[in-house]
Amino acid sequence: VDADGTRVFELTAQVGSTQFLYDTQTTTWGYNGAFGGPTLRAREGESVRVEVTNELNEVTTAHWHGMKLPAKADGGPHQPIHPGETWTAEWTVEQPAATLWYHPHNHGTTEVHVYRGLSGLFFIDDEATGTDRDPLPHDYGVDDIPVVVSDRAFLPDGSFDETHRSAAGMLGDTILVNGTVNPTFEATRAETRLRILNASTARTYRVQLDGGSLLLVGTDAGLVPEPKRVDAITLTPGERVEVIVQLEPGETKMLRSLPHTLGLLGTTERASGTRDPLDLLELSRPATSTGEPVFETLLASAGGTLAAVIPPLDEPDERRTVTMQDAKINHRRMNMSRIDEVVTVGARERWFITNEHFLAHNLHIHNARFRIVSIGGSKPAIELQGWKDTVYAPPSRTVVIDVEFGTATDPHLPYMFHCHMLQHEDQGMMAQFVVV
């Protein structure tokens, strides 16, 4: 924190070397290290400044996924950072507690920059979180654990295989959690909060805890009003979920991704990797560990809710249609010099998203959070009922969302909305809007 109270972060995108496998080194990219990036953290109402230095030998950007902020701070394709340069992003946090993340967003090279290792988490706190009054487990690294999940394919010499492509994108057979192969976590308390991010460029996970349910406490853009038990949660690229898991002393449970369906034709399911069972994270608690579950008791004594109840939209100010085709949105490929939509600041909009293509796609909107009204005419699953910024769009169905944008305006600099399967985004499945 500097003299005027601004929270300052410095990130340097750099090339490094990481040992993932037993006997080889992998060339990787990271922020302030060889792979991944530090977890940044700021509070609602706080001013933030991030200085991002590019020590790579090509242009990159740093985008704050899920953040409401001025377009010039967004870090999308209009804020390139050339090699050797430093770019500064400044904004005031104007949203409640959530688990956001950051990653490169240079048009055409986003997928490969993320795949090589550039991404990190960005936690937002509000007055109710991260303090003694917070009923949620909140000791970072102790009972509040980042779980950044991604997949990689390795070549025999240990390097990442960047050619292992399907129609969905690059699919790997090796899972990394926070940059680690075969990750384990030893719990020291009865309850552990997992902040799970699907940081894969293409793969979808169906997350489940062997022999136990997950207590859902948060979605992409915030905490849920009422914690709910769920058996499994589907996460497409870019989506997050916060869950609490309980372990008895001496217990070990595997967090897994199970085969699932995205509602696609059979061969397309395979190309999306949905048929693959994958171990994500082994959680264990030593037999000598003491302590009982306390979360639900603390929550009840705190008044019962984690976040404001999501207000339904009676009458949207604006309705917008988003259709998705092969490498296109609304039948057009991304064009950096074309503004596709103009949003009026403060407007509450209802968007109708239809995937007209046969492949799996999702939609992410910058500078916004939204609530899913319906998917193919039905009520969304429990894990899709909280605040979101990324949503799966199944083929031939319409996803209806109520969108709330940030308060900043800029008539010239746009924000993006796009498929977060990054190969598709790079191919042009992205469009631009300004807020005026």
Sites of contact with Cu ion (CB under 5 A):
65, 361, 366, 419, 421, 424
Query: How far apart are alpha carbons 272 and 277 in whole angstroms?
Result: 13
Q: Which is nearer to Cu ion, 307 or 421 (CB)?
A: 421
Smallest distance from ligand C2O to CB 158, Å: 28
Residue 361, binding choice from Cu ion, ligand C2O, none, Cβ under 5 to 8 Å by partner class: Cu ion
Told to check if 416 binds ligand C2O by CB under 6 A, we report yes
Whether the Cβ atoms of residue 60 and residue 81 lie closer than 8 Å to each other? yes
Q: Which is nearer to ligand C2O, 207 or 421 (CB)?
A: 421
Residue 238, binding choice from ligand C2O, Cu ion, none, Cβ under 5 to 8 Å by partner class: ligand C2O
Whether the Cβ atoms of residue 401 and residue 373 lie closer than 8 Å to each other? yes
Tokens describing residue 227: 């914690």
Query: How far apart are alpha carbons 100 and 337 in whole angstroms?
Result: 28
Instruction: Select the span of 166-174, 221-229, 251-259, 412-420 touching ligand C2O (CB under 6 A).
Output: 412-420
How is 386-429 classified by DSSP, letter by letter? S-BSEEEE-BT-EEEEEEEE-S--EEEEEEEEE-SSHHHHHHT-
Smallest distance from ligand C2O to CB 360, Å: 17
Q: Which is nearer to ligand C2O, 187 or 431 (CB)?
A: 431
Q: How many residues bind ligand C2O (CB under 6 A)?
A: 10
Query: How far apart are alpha carbons 149 and 116 in whole angstroms?
Result: 14
Told to check if 238 binds ligand C2O by CB under 6 A, we report yes
Out of 366, 369, 371, 388, the only residue in the binding site for ligand C2O (CB under 6 A) is: 366
Q: Which is nearer to Cu ion, 252 or 407 (CB)?
A: 407
Residue 247, binding choice from Cu ion, ligand C2O, none, Cβ under 5 to 8 Å by partner class: none
Q: Which is nearer to ligand C2O, 189 or 418 (CB)?
A: 418
Residue 105, binding choice from Cu ion, ligand C2O, none, Cβ under 5 to 8 Å by partner class: ligand C2O
Smallest distance from ligand C2O to CB 101, Å: 7
Out of 30, 37, 42, 65, the only residue in the binding site for ligand C2O (CB under 6 A) is: 65
Q: Which residue has the tokens 């550039």?
A: 118
Told to check if 418 binds ligand C2O by CB under 6 A, we report yes
Q: Which is nearer to Cu ion, 256 or 361 (CB)?
A: 361
Smallest distance from ligand C2O to CB 103, Å: 6
Q: Which is nearer to Cu ion, 193 or 240 (CB)?
A: 240
Strand partners, 368: 405
Residue 195, binding choice from ligand C2O, Cu ion, none, Cβ under 5 to 8 Å by partner class: none
- How far CA 199 is from CA of 5, 302, 337, 415, in Å, comes to 32, 33, 28, 21
Q: Which is nearer to Cu ion, 192 or 272 (CB)?
A: 272
Told to check if 63 binds ligand C2O by CB under 6 A, we report yes
Q: Which is nearer to ligand C2O, 238 or 273 (CB)?
A: 238
Q: Which is nearer to ligand C2O, 371 or 418 (CB)?
A: 418
Query: How far apart are alpha carbons 31 and 145 in whole angstroms?
Result: 19
Tokens describing residue 402: 């109520």
Query: How far apart are alpha carbons 340 and 416 in whole angstroms?
Result: 10
Phi-psi region at 158: left, alpha or beta (left = phi > 0; alpha = psi -120 to 50) = left
Query: How far apart are alpha carbons 77 and 414 in whole angstroms?
Result: 10
Told to check if 113 binds ligand C2O by CB under 6 A, we report no
Phi, psi dihedral angles at 297 (to 5 degrees): -65, -45
Told to check if 364 binds ligand C2O by CB under 6 A, we report yes
Query: How far apart are alpha carbons 145 and 187 in whole angstroms?
Result: 10
Residue 418, binding choice from Cu ion, ligand C2O, none, Cβ under 5 to 8 Å by partner class: ligand C2O
Residue 421, binding choice from ligand C2O, Cu ion, none, Cβ under 5 to 8 Å by partner class: Cu ion
Tokens describing residue 410: 């800029």
How is 55-91 classified by DSSP, letter by letter? -SSS-B--EEET----GGGS-STTS-B-TT-EEEEEE
For residue 311, the 8-state DSSP code is P
Query: How far apart are alpha carbons 406 and 419 in whole angstroms?
Result: 20
Strand, coil or helix: what is 127? coil
Instruction: Select the span of 138-146, 197-205, 354-362, 414-422 touching ligand C2O (CB under 6 A).
Output: 414-422
Strand, coil or helix: what is 23? coil
For residue 115, the 8-state DSSP code is H
Summarize as ranges the residues that interact with ligand C2O (CB under 6 A).
63, 65, 103, 105, 238, 364, 366, 416, 418, 420
